[in-house]
Amino acid sequence: MIRAATVHDVPEIRAMIGELAAYHREVEQARATEEQLREALFGELPAAYALIAEDDETAATVGFALWFPSFSTWTGVRGMHLEDLFVRPGARGAGHGKALLAALAAVCTRGGFERFEWCVLAWNEPTINFYKSIGVQIIDDWRVCHLTGEPLAALAAQAPPVSG
């Protein structure tokens, strides 16, 4: 079963973020707290949204997808950026990942979103192959850019005054 996350799912979402970070070999980077997630997903101005995958027989939480709206200046229309998709190892191969993606695609079509996009690590061949099997186009011509920490602060310090 796929359902919208509730505030009661925050501890499980945080736990799965930790599991995803371990899979990506970046445990130290996953610093989001339950309180931050609660505010981001269920606060006055939500920054993101989440879906939960549950096992049909046990009702155990087996995965999640966390996304936020994007916007294309080329099409002038909103889109969806999938930040994280994770299915616990013991539940993989049972269709939960595809069900999560299908549910997100339905959100896109209902909401008039023309683009649904996300990133995948280049070394993650099993996931890349899964994505290709459902028709995902992998765009090799684009590179993801991250600016964080001290370089972000250094660049911000060079900002001219912005009016308005």
pLDDT value of position 119: 93
Using DSSP's 3-state secondary structure scheme, residue 25 falls into coil
Which tens digit of pLDDT belongs to each residue from 87-144? 999 999 999 999 999 999 999 999 999 999 999 989 889 989 999 999 999 998 988 8
Q: Are 138 and 128 in contact (CB under 8 A)?
A: yes
Model's pTM, two decimal places? 0.90
pLDDT value of position 24: 87
What is the DSSP secondary structure assignment for residue 91, as one 8-state letter?
A: G
119: buried, middle or exposed (CB in 10 Å: 19+, 13-18, 0-12)?
Answer: exposed
Confidence category of residue 2, pLDDT binned at 50, 70, 90? very high
Confidence category of residue 146, pLDDT binned at 50, 70, 90? confident
Catalytic residues: 131
pLDDT higher than threshold 90 for residue 64: yes
Mean pLDDT of all residues in 142-158? 91
pLDDT value of position 163: 86
Using DSSP's 3-state secondary structure scheme, residue 2 falls into strand
Query: How far apart are the C-alpha atoms of 129 and 14, rounded to whole Å?
Result: 27
In SS3 terms, 41-90 reads as HHCCCCCCEEEEEECCCCCCEEEEEEEEEEEECCCCEEEEEEEEEEECHH
pLDDT value of position 16: 98
CA end-to-end distance (rounded Å), the chain: 47
pLDDT higher than threshold 90 for residue 155: yes
Mean pLDDT of the chain: 94
